[in-house]
Amino acid sequence: MAKDKKEYTTGFGAPIDDDQNSKTAGTDGPILMQDTHLLEKLGHFDRERIPERVVHAKGAGAHGYFEVTADVTKYTRAKFLSEVAKRTDVFARFSTVGGERGSADAERDPRGFALKFYTEEGNYDMTGNNTPVFFIRDPLKFPDFIHTQKRHPGNNLKNADMFWDFLSLTPESVHQVTILFSDRGTPRTFRHMNGYSSHTFKWYNDKGEYYWVQYHFKTEQGIQNLTRDEATEMKGKDPDHATRDLYEAIERGDYPSWRLEMQIMPPEDAAKYRFNPFDITKVWFHADYPPITIGRLVLNKNPKNYFAEVEQAAFSPANFVPGIAASPDKLLQGRLFSYHDTHIHRLGVNYPMIPINQPKNAVNYYQRDGYMNVSENGGDGPNYYPNSFGGPEPQIDAAEPAFEVSGMAARQPYTHPNDDFFQAGELYRRVMTDMDRDHLIGNITTHLCNAQKRIQLRQSAIFYKADLEYGTRVAKGLGLNVKEVKSLAEMTQEERAEATS
Ligand code: NDP
């Protein structure tokens, strides 16, 4: 054997003599059961696929670092944010949401923007999107919403009826729908988009004072999007274009970067702010809470093995470090459960032991055993707490400051002043250029025209409620009667649903 070549072995380390010929009885076969190398090889191959993520299945990832650029110690005691110029290793994964693992990167879809910070106090995950808001604000609606964005249960095809039926019966979605159907719904690459926490989180300092915060990772490559036609062409030309772009940019040393801007709200503002600050279908207007630049994210190293580092990467919004905590955002509260739960299903209960998911600090706990436990499993140390055998002790100073909750326990919507249409209207009226608006209308009508007419009418009325011109242009683009749309827009949601049932 050549000096620089490694010896080929079985998974158990035994040398393999021949990997081209199965062991047969005579030259013509049949194959013998005692070809254990063949059996091991086929058995492993048969189990290569793990369940793909139910959402965000198609993605690309990269390693990098986060660097603090401003003093934020008055807001948070998180150690990785404790000093200007401090760097923390990061792994990032970008993704589309609705498609399968082989789906095209240029699909119209939000893009996942998930970050894992390997801090000295454990892993902190920021599992955001390239949009500052979301379609729904209650996790009870999540499985239904995702069903409508995927495939029809009958023929396994994408289905415009169920897509728009759900959205038009869920008017809180109109803000996110407006962003999704702008050209930001088809970013040119993963490098040319922003990342947002979308949720509100809590930061607290070492005095126990807290603030509500929102994260905005602003691309330093500049926002660039594909038009509808460019995206359609790209899907055929290179379904993996964004995955390829990220990999190639990093290979050539053109490291993508994002500026972290924070919006910070003092707690006393929350109850009186004109929008519910915990409602994920809303933003905090920049004029009300001007973003403050506090850091920079740089991606500078490609994964060496896609499955090990990207497919097995498991992010969870429940992974906090001292100084950062949840807010009462209802969708966030649902995600705090759901991400960990899905990783246990996909990767097994010991998924934190997979190298890409391992924190860089020591893990000392009393959880034991389970499938694929590849640690020393606590050795012969105590596997219960409390104990008097030197096991790990809780650190009381790691606690989040106590906070008060009150109210009647019931299934109930937000009562904070709630207008689901105003912010979508502001985006259309105040932020978009004429070209943005033209593209938006074209992107919507070429998709919505595939739904039944009664659903087109109901959805057009939702756009009309956001902005009269917006709804009128969609209705005209679909050849609908604008008067009919206007009268539907004037109805309550229940009346509108009834009138278009
Ligand atoms: P501003 O008028 O101060 O700024 C507009 C924001 O909209 C910028 O952040 C810009 O992002 C972003 N933007 C531009 N085009 C689009 C698009 N097609 N889809 C999504 N975002 C876009 O914002 P206000 O705070 O006054 O809010 C007005 C509206 O802007 C909101 O109703 C919301 O729809 C949208 N918006 C607000 C954000 C916020 O956190 N306040 C964040 C993103 C959007 P960029 O600077 O990267 O170009």
The DSSP line for 282-324 is: -PPPTTTS--EEEEEEEEEE--S-HIIIIIT----TT---TTE
The pLDDT of residue 3? 66
Cα(188) to centroid(ligand 1), Å: 18
Q: Which residues line ligand 1 (CB under 6 A)?
A: 132, 179, 182, 184, 194, 218, 223, 283-287, 423, 426-427, 431, 436
The domain defined by 59-133+189-357 folds into Catalase HpII,  Chain A, domain 1 (2.40.180)
Nearest to 351 by CA among 55, 66, 50: 50
The pLDDT of residue 402? 93
Percent of the chain with pLDDT over 70: 99
| C-alpha–C-alpha distance, residues 417 and 403, integer Å | 23
Mean pLDDT score of the chain, rounded to an integer? 97
- Under the banding of pLDDT at 50, 70 and 90, the label for residue 286 is very high
Average pLDDT on 243-263 reads: 98
Distances (CA, A) of 137 to 25, 145, 317, 369, 414: 65, 11, 16, 37, 9
Token pair for 276: 């519910």
User: Which atom of ligand 1 is the closest one to the Cα of 432?
Assistant: 15
Nearest to 128 by CA among 145, 116, 142: 116
Q: What is the pTM of this model?
A: 0.96
pLDDT in tens, 403-437: 999 999 999 999 887 899 999 999 999 999 999 99
The tally of CA atoms less than 13 A away on the side-chain side of residue 376 is 7
Which residues, other chains included, contact 93 with Cβ-Cβ below 8 Å and sequence gap of 6+?
Answer: 59, 60, 61, 112, 114, 310, 313, 315
The pLDDT of residue 451? 98
Residue with structure tokens 């140390």? 381
Instruction: Considering the chain, tell me which residue range(s) the CATH 2.40.180.10 domain(s) occupy.
Output: 59-133+189-357
Q: Is the pLDDT of residue 262 over 70?
A: yes
pLDDT in tens, 50-84: 999 999 999 999 999 999 999 999 999 999 999 99
- Under the banding of pLDDT at 50, 70 and 90, the label for residue 30 is very high
- Under the banding of pLDDT at 50, 70 and 90, the label for residue 1 is low
Pick the CATH number of 136-169+421-501 from 3.30.750.24, 1.20.1090.10, 1.20.1370.60, 3.20.20.10: 1.20.1370.60
The pLDDT of residue 258? 99
User: Which atom of ligand 1 is the closest one to the Cα of 179?
Assistant: 19
The pLDDT of residue 4? 82
Which residue's C-alpha comes closest to atom 2 of ligand 1?
A: 431
Which residues form the catalytic set?
56, 129
**Maximum pairwise Cα distance, the chain:** 85
H/E run at residue 117: strand 111-119
Token pair for 456: 């087109």
Residue with structure tokens 């209308």? 441
Cα(225) to centroid(ligand 1), Å: 15
Q: Is the pLDDT of residue 17 over 80?
A: yes
- Among 226-240, 279-293, 406-420, name the one with the lowest average pLDDT: 406-420
Instruction: Considering the chain, tell me which residue range(s) the CATH 1.20.1370.60 domain(s) occupy.
Output: 136-169+421-501
